[in-house]
Homo-oligomer: A and B are copies of this chain.
């Protein structure tokens, strides 16, 4: 039972696209990440996923629209919805999603992180 300061934790993250666990809440994890560039199109069969922008600007591409998020904004991607996170510059994000969620969803490739560390 310790509080989490987002800025402090973000300062500890050195790699892009490598989410860290900052809290657990019922069946979900709170994850923090720094991202830059384009991820991959994917979806999560069973899990809704929340993206909250801590710093910077994030684009979430969906098949029928682009969602532009800035600091202090969140967006929830319902299960089954194809999405592609894009960060033109580095973005700090907080994600909330079930513990079962794999970052690349239905896709397995070199970006897939099977096990995450706590931060």
**A residues lining the B interface (CB < 8 Å):** 1-7, 23-28, 30, 47-50, 54, 62, 67-69, 72-78, 81, 96-98
Considering the complex, give the chain B residue whose CB is closest to the CB of A51.
Answer: B3
Q: Is the CB of A98 within 8 A of B5?
A: no
Q: Is the CB of A73 within 8 A of B3?
A: yes
Partner of A67, one of B3, B48, B97: B3
Q: Is the CB of A27 within 8 A of B27?
A: yes
CA distance in complex: A2, B75 (Å): 7
CA distance in complex: A1, B76 (Å): 7
Q: Is the CB of A78 within 8 A of B1?
A: yes
Nearest chain B CB to A92 CB, angstrom units: 11
